[in-house]
Structure formats: structure tokens, C-alpha cells
A and B are shown apart, each in its own frame.
Chain A
Amino acid sequence: MALQRSDVEKIAHLARLGLNEGELPRFTDALNSILGLVDQMQAVDTSGIEPLAHPLEATQRLRPDQVTESNQRDRYQAVAPSTENGLYLVPKVID
């Protein structure tokens, strides 16, 4: 089941990727050829197989509840595209 242009547009919106209109057909073809490769998985019988998320299957270590960070706002905001009064600025958000 190949992706249509409308599917690609929907996924692009989910991923917030502004795709170039003119490139959409080529992009759609490329995605379909990747998904064709990926779909080879469906031939594998995996019934009863537990998914493996991490190779070593270790468990989470827990950190002591301690404050270890200090204010570094100026340093961190030096790489920000737009700030004012210590705030990051974005176009108006409507609730």
C-alpha cells in the first residue's frame, strides 16, 4: 500500500516539516521505496517474540534527589535565536 501525496503531507505536518511543493513527487517516491524495503519485515514470523528495546536489557539507575545545577541562563541563551527579558520568544501562542 503505497503512500499518496496526501499521506506524505499529513506525515510532514505531524513532523512539522515544511516540504518543498515541487519536491513532493520525488519525496513520495523515495519514501515509498524505503517503505518497500521496510515492508520485507512483514514476511518474518515474530509471533510470541518479546520486542527488544535495548540490547543489554539493563534496568534504570536512579539519581539521588539533589540540586546540582546553577543558573546558566546567559550562557544557554547565547545560542538562542530570539530572547527578551530572559524569555525565549516565539510567534504568538493562542490557547
Chain B
Amino acid sequence: MHQLTLAEIARGLADKSFSSEELTGALLSRIKQLDPQLNSFITVTQAQALDQARAADARRASGETGALLGAPIAHKDLFCTNGVRTSCGSKMLDSFTAPYDATVVAKLAEAGMVTLGKTNMDEFAMGSANESSHYGAVKNPWNLEHVPGGSSGGSAAAVAARLLPATTGTDTGGSIRQPAAFTNLTGLKPTYGRVSRWGMIAYASSLDQGGPLARTAEDCALLLQGMAGFDAKDSTSVDEPVPDFSANLNASLQGLRIGLPKEYFGAGLDPRIADLVQASVKELEKLGAVVKEISLPNMQHAIPAYYVIAPAEASSNLSRFDGVRFGHRCEDPKDLTDLYKRSRGEGFGAEVQRRIMVGTYALSAGYYDAYYVKAQQIRRLIKNDFMAAFADVDVILGPTTPNPAWKLGAKSSDPVAAYLEDVYTITANLAGLPGLSMPAGFVDGLPVGVQLLAPYFQEGRLLNIAHRYQQVTDWHTRAPNGF
């Protein structure tokens, strides 16, 4: 049963081939059996999940329908879940039981999804290897000595290992797309503002966006349908109609204009990945797409700008963790400053501390213009590049990452080396564009992803292209050995 996709589960539940309770029980035991190797879950909500499954079965018995009714899900552990520990992968929130539901959690629960638990992640979503979690590193099911990517590494590893068909993740600089690429999944970062951020513990508010991870584009469409939508509780949520993401999955790609940014294929890209990307382009051409070389001249400046904007916002967002109202508090603080410094020094891990320090510095008197304002100006240049490119092409295609998943620990001593791996994904966050990563082959037995970027609110287009591609390729169907 664990091999089923979300779409297949929807059909199985609809035609009563199995109940949600049966499915949930099977997956829970699979998690129990296999997850110790992966460490993809921080919390498994077994009893609650079974209750939710029975409730979903009852709803279905009373005549309710819905693609997500009774289907399993797990949330990245930064989505607040009422009554359940929501740790953000941090010691700071190890004891934090959220007193409310994130909008995404509430919407999916309302649609009848069964929450199996909370997935592991880089601490406060800061990382691209899922090694900065207080709960330990997550292993890549394709090779347990390698990282699964991050920061939504637990969400990716769990789906890749067939512990469940889909999970939620968040993407601030590539944190859905990069782990999707590293674990052979389809992952979508929606347009900024498409998915509510209410209850999604913030890393960098102007960049964070929740989205789905699944094995197929079809499943991503189903899950995104449940997640997306205007939310009055989030001022940055966009009041834009949500289309039926599944309706156009099979639309023709005839005449689709694909732009290949020359900057994506320069130095630093593993040539074997370049070949796989070219192969995927060939497949899309066979489906009727036309390809054009384009230029995104400011792409190289994205990483420096990102590592000002994201830490600056984070340094402020994480000030609320002060040991007063929730979260870790040091023993016997001797005064207020001691309470703050020790609670935060003990509660935050090294990478989080580094980013808080960088952000604090970038915003401090005398440096604000040189760092923060400059980075926001570059942000506009990057957006302008995309706007110019989308005048000529419908979507932009390139590698999701320059290299496949690296070995655990390989980059932990040099934070900058890991930052550079985000080179292709970060621009979409700075510009707020939707981006999708889809499986495109393997290098040394490790998965490789291809990234598609589209204009604002064209998630449907991305899902359509990925779905058509997945109809003529089988990379996405491959499962890691032992799972």
C-alpha cells in the first residue's frame, strides 16, 4: 500500500478498496519499521492519526467525497499543529506544544487529511543538508551516507522512502526544490503569497513559502489544491483566485517556449547533471516545446543578496525566542541579560546563531545601506531579469542544483560551501516566482532534478509540464533500494 501515490490513494479510498484507517495503520507501522534508519520524523502522532483516519472514514461513509479525504500527510515541523510539539528542529522549541494550527494544517485537516506526524528539518529552516537539526541529521534513502538536502529534508526523505505519499515543506532559498532533487521527488514552491504563512514559523518572511513534496506532479497538484488560497490572517497572502491545478495537467506542450539561461550552465555545474538536463529538454521538445537560450545576468549576485536579506529578516524574526513566554529558558538566570543570552545561546544551534549574527550586523547602524538596502536593490535587478526573460519565454528550465547530494558532514565545516549549492534555486525566492523541481535521472546512483520556473501564479503551467514529462519518462517512479 505504501507504493501508492496520492492520486491512487484517492481512487482507492473512493472505490473502497481500503479504508483510511487501514492505510494509516500500514503507513504508521512502516514509519516505525524504517524511519530509524532515516530520522525523517521528529514526532509521529500515532494515536491522533488513527483517530483522524476513523473520522475521515466516517465522513466518507456519510457521503462526503474529496481527493484528500482520508489521505495521509506529514508536516514539516515548522507548521504549528495544535496540541502537538512544533520544534522547528531546534532545542529552543523542543518543549513547545503549539496552541494553534497553521492555516495550511487547518486547511488540510478540513479537507480530511490524516496527519501522521511532523518531519525533521534544518533548525529554523536554515540549511540545505538537514544536518543542523537538533534532532540529528536526516539520511538520504538513496544512499544513507548522503544528505537528503534541506531544509525540508525530513519531508523529502520520508516521501522518497515511501513512508507516505506526500508531505508539506517550505522553501526560502530552495528548501523544497533542492531536497526534492536530491531524493527523486517532485517539489513545488508556489508564488510568494499563494500559500498562507499563518502558523508557519518564520525564517525569512519575504522569502518563505510553503508547498508540496510528492513523487509526481499530479500529486503535487492535489496537495497544492488543499494548501493554497487567500488567508486574511496573513497580510502578504494574495487574494488571487485559486485555479483547479489538476484540470490542465494533460494540456498540450505544443509551442511551449522554454528558456535556458546560459548562466545556469556555466562553471560549477557537474557536467553529468548538465547532460541530464539537456536530455530532459529533448524530451520536452519531443512533446512540442521550443527552446531558446536566454540570459539572467544578475543571477550570480543572488547568493550574496540572499545571505543579507534572509539573515536580516531572521535575526529579527527569531528575537521572540527569549525564554519568557515559550521555548527554552536557561537555568537560574541571574538577571535579564543573562536570561536572554543563555537561553538563546543554549537554545539555538551554530548555523542559526551564525545567521542571527550576520543579520544583526547587516542591519546595524552604519551598515544598513551597504548591506540591506544594497541587497534589496539587487533583488529588484534579479526580478527585472526574470520579467525581461518572461517577455520571450513561457518558462525557464535548468538544473535544480549544481551537484548531487553530498556526503553527510562534507560541507558542515564550511558554511559558505553549502550556501553556494543554492545558486539555482535562490533567485525564485528573491523574485517570488513559482518553481518546481522534477526527477531527471541519476548520477552515481543519486537523483538529479530539473527546475522549472514560471511567471507569477502559473503553478498550473509548471505542474502541466512536469506531468506531461512524467508521462513519457520513468525517473520519478524509481524507488531507492530497501524502500
Q: Give yes or no for direct A-B contact (beta carbon below 8 Å).
A: yes
Query: A44 near B206 (CB under 8 angstroms)?
Result: no
| Cβ of A2 under 8 Å from chain B | no
Query: B335 near A38 (CB under 8 angstroms)?
Result: no
Query: Chain A residue with minimal CB distance to B348?
Result: A17
Interface SS of B by simple majority = helix
| Stretch binding the partner chain, chosen from B115-123, B215-223, B288-296, B336-344 | B336-344
| Cβ of B56 under 8 Å from chain A | no
Contact of B238 among A18, A30, A58 (CB under 8 A): A58
Chain B residues, Cβ within 8 Å of A35: 358, 361
Query: A44 near B383 (CB under 8 angstroms)?
Result: no
Query: B336 near A38 (CB under 8 angstroms)?
Result: no
Please report the C-alpha to C-alpha distance between residue A18 and residue B239 in the assembled complex, in whole angstroms.
42
Report B371 CB to chain A, min CB distance, Å.
7
Query: Chain A residue with minimal CB distance to B428?
Result: A55
Q: Flag A46-76 by CB within 8 Å of B: 1 or 0 each.
A: 1001111111101011010000000010011
Query: A76 near B99 (CB under 8 angstroms)?
Result: yes
Query: B97 near A79 (CB under 8 angstroms)?
Result: yes
Please report the C-alpha to C-alpha distance between residue A75 and residue B325 in the assembled complex, in whole angstroms.
12
| Cβ of B250 under 8 Å from chain A | no
Chain A residues, Cβ within 8 Å of B329: 81-82
Chain B residues, Cβ within 8 Å of A19: 345, 353
Question: Which interface residue of B96, B340, B370 has the most chain A CB atoms within 10 A?
Answer: B340
Query: Chain B residue with minimal CB distance to A16?
Result: B340
| Cβ of B326 under 8 Å from chain A | yes
Chain A residues, Cβ within 8 Å of B353: 17, 19, 27
Chain A residues, Cβ within 8 Å of B443: none
Query: B346 near A53 (CB under 8 angstroms)?
Result: no
Query: Chain A residue with minimal CB distance to B369?
Result: A51
Contact of A91 among B319, B338, B377 (CB under 8 A): B338
Query: B206 near A11 (CB under 8 angstroms)?
Result: no
Query: B381 near A16 (CB under 8 angstroms)?
Result: no
Contact of A49 among B206, B235, B236, B377 (CB under 8 A): B377
| Cβ of B375 under 8 Å from chain A | yes
- Give me the interface of A with B, judged by CB distance under 8 Å: 3, 7-8, 11-20, 23, 27, 30-31, 33-42, 44, 46, 49-56, 58, 60-61, 63, 72, 75-76, 78-82, 88, 90-93
Question: Which interface residue of B192, B416, B431, B456 has the most chain A CB atoms within 10 A?
Answer: B416
Chain B residues, Cβ within 8 Å of A34: 307, 354, 358, 415-416, 419
Query: A51 near B416 (CB under 8 angstroms)?
Result: no
B1-58 residues at the A interface, CB under 8 angstroms: none
Question: Which interface residue of B305, B341, B433 has the most chain A CB atoms within 10 A?
Answer: B341
Q: Flag B300-344 by CB within 8 Å of A: 1 or 0 each.
A: 010111011000000100010011111101000111111111101
| Cβ of B193 under 8 Å from chain A | yes
Please report the C-alpha to C-alpha distance between residue A12 and residue B348 in the assembled complex, in whole angstroms.
13
Report B469 CB to chain A, min CB distance, Å.
27
| Cβ of B378 under 8 Å from chain A | yes
Query: Chain A residue with minimal CB distance to B353?
Result: A17
Report A71 CB to chain B, min CB distance, Å.
13
Chain A residues, Cβ within 8 Å of B477: none
What 10 A-B pairs come out closest when comparing CB atoms? A55-B432, A18-B345, A51-B376, A18-B341, A46-B377, A16-B340, A81-B329, A52-B380, A49-B377, A15-B360
